[in-house]
Amino acid sequence: MRVNPLRPGSGNPNFAGEVLGADLQTPPSPALVAAVEDAMATYAVVVVREQAIDDDEQLRFARAFGPLELPPHWGLVDSSRPRVGHGLYDISNLDENGELLPATSVKYASNKANEEFHTDSSFNELPTKWSMLSARVIPPEGGDTEFCDGRAAFEALTPELQARAADAVAEHWYWHTRGTSIYKDITEDMRRAMPPVRHPVVRTVAGRRTLYLGAHATHIVGWPRADGEHFIRELNAHLAQPEFGYRHEWRPADLLIWDNRCVLHRATGFDAARHKRDMRRATINEYGPEISSTDALGVPAPKGLAG
């Protein structure tokens, strides 16, 4: 097993790496866990190549690094869907029968919202560590995933902007990206299930300070609304610059891992009306029990929905 950088000639070489020679069809050894932890501390985006794994094997590997964040009741993919294992997010353009979604479906529209830079679950109070996305079926073209490095982006700010960001707290809200463009109405039950949360704009991960923003951030707490919205737009545009980025071109059976605490990502387009794209995501919390955000808030599952 070895770890290679994927951007050796770039201005930000320690952002993406690949692990070769691992076998996730067997229980993860302490040596493999340590190697992946070390690689993630260095790169923050790591692909484990050639992993034709099933749902149970993906979940077993993910749990070696922390408790899972379970899908919420008020998501577009729920943990009771028969297509994916309990605890995985169904990141696909497929229905429960494995067929292409119609363009009129809510899930289809939600997939389009994922084409904005974001960090998974920043709208949750529970702290999220990593995401692990398994490529089961990839389209013949398109459908790449783009990333930007919040650590390098923070370090490139002027000292004045660094200080201003470090003192700021942003509010993040699920319905900011899944609002009325997807749902006709945001009901009180929906608001109660996914209320806004607050996170510092600057975090420290593996000894480096990083920007923590993305499309779910709405405004800066305590600032005039327009000023806070402008500041978030300014920092998000700074994050999205090419020098902080990495574009992952998927290969069959890739398992891609990224650190949600310091990395933003977005999906890129493909012909979703013609080609299948089946991805399954495990999301890992820093600590705590395996629980969904809606369970943590005591929100009862809708009738007929488990998990």
| Mean pLDDT value across the chain | 91
Q: State residue 303's pLDDT score.
A: 56
Q: Which domains does the chain have, with CATH numbers?
A: 2-282 (3.60.130.10)
Separation in Å, CA 238 to CA 105, 153, 289: 33, 7, 35
Local structure of 141: helix, strand or coil: coil
> What span, in angstroms and rounded, lies between the C-alpha atoms of 247 and 256?
12
Residue 106: which H helix or E strand, with range? helix 106-113
Q: State residue 302's pLDDT score.
A: 61
277: Cβ contacts below 8 Å, ≥ 6 apart: 92, 93, 137, 138, 139, 143, 270
Nearest by Cα to 118 from 267, 283, 257, 264: 264
pLDDT in tens, the chain (307 residues): 899 999 888 889 999 999 999 999 999 999 999 999 999 999 999 999 999 999 999 999 999 999 999 988 654 344 445 688 889 999 999 998 899 999 888 888 888 889 999 999 999 988 799 999 999 999 999 999 999 999 999 999 999 999 999 999 999 998 888 876 677 778 888 888 889 999 999 999 999 999 999 999 999 999 999 999 999 999 999 999 999 999 999 999 999 999 999 999 999 999 999 999 999 999 999 999 998 888 887 877 665 444 3
Q: State residue 299's pLDDT score.
A: 78
